[in-house]
Amino acid sequence: MTLLTPPSRSIIKSILSKEQSEGVGAKIRRSIGRPELRNHDPFLMLDEFDSDPTGGFPDHPHRGFETVTYMLEGQVQHEDFAGHKGTIGPGDLQWMTAGRGIVHSEMPVKTETRIHGLQLWINLPKEHKMCEPQYQELRDGQIPRATPQDGVTIKVIAGESYGVKSQVYTRTPTMYLDFRMEKNKAVTQTIPSTFTGFIYMLKGKAYIGDKEFEGKAHHTLTFSEDGAETVKIQTKDEDAHFVFIAGEPLKEPIVQHGPFVMNTDKEIYDTFVDYQYAKNGFERARNWRSTIA
């Protein structure tokens, strides 16, 4: 009897993330959030930042979504108006639920020569948009790894891979996996049938799906939404490093104005009023200034 191999999700779009300026002197490559891929429900934005320590993101607010910062190289300091302060370095994770309101600052440690990492914005469902802010922070050594074979390491930042589960709680069901594959390797990653998702290539080349679509560095590769529950990934003549990100689409209206993401125009207007008058979650913003900017 011949066992049938389940079909893989295919790649339906590949978009190059070009370098642009953001914040104060920071350089980024925007993936999700570009005009060609404005939103990829439930994801609002993915930036690969790669700068020297002169660039950063001084005091700014958020409401209505989560920011996930994953460091690859260098160190970044962060501080918010509630007194939360710290530093994350190579391999570390900060999963920040802005909820009803956060004002914070994210600045590089000045002694570093390179600040390289990813920041993902995940939309929150309507019932969680005004929740209390929360942080989940994990050091590199606290993030579990799956090793399905020699030469393949998968950091399980959120979700599950090869039986290894993350401890991160996701209000919006999310998978976030960091793959490092040596050349001439092949894996099959499972994915819930209802999830949307994409791969963002950091280095090298990977070949995705039954048709072996070639993914190159700094490209965003979006998956088909055909209900298939696997994604086949292989390397050939070179190593590859990429992140695999997928989540349950919210299928709710998105009204975004900069760092505020709500469901209606009125909610955005109310957010501006709350921020301006320091109320309904922004009370501590009135006289706060970060010490790291």
- The three state secondary structure string of the chain is CCCCCCCCCCEEEEEECCEEEECECEEEEECCCECCECCECCEEEEEEEEECCCCEEEEEEEECEEEEEEEEECCEEEEECCCCEEEECCCCEEEEECCCCEEEEEEECCCCCCEEEEEEEEECCHHHCCCCCEEEEECHHHCCEEEEECCEEEEEEECEECCEECCCCCCCCEEEEEEEECCCCEEEEECCCCCEEEEEEEEEEEEECCCCEEEECCEEEEECCCCCCEEEEECCCCCEEEEEEEECCCCCCCEEECCEEECCHHHHHHHHHHHHCCCCCCHHHCCCCCCCC
Do the annotations mark residue 60 as ligand-binding?
Answer: yes
Q: Residue 156 in contact with residue 198, Cβ under 8 Å?
A: no
Q: Is 128 annotated as a binding residue?
A: no
Residue 275: what are its φ and ψ, rounded to 5°?
Answer: -70, -40
Q: Would the annotation count 241 as a binding residue?
A: no
* C-alpha span between 146 and 144 (Å, rounded): 7
Residue 257 counted as an annotated binding residue = no
> Which residue numbers belong to the known binding site for Fe cation?
60, 62, 104, 106
> Which residue numbers belong to the known binding site?
60, 62, 104, 106
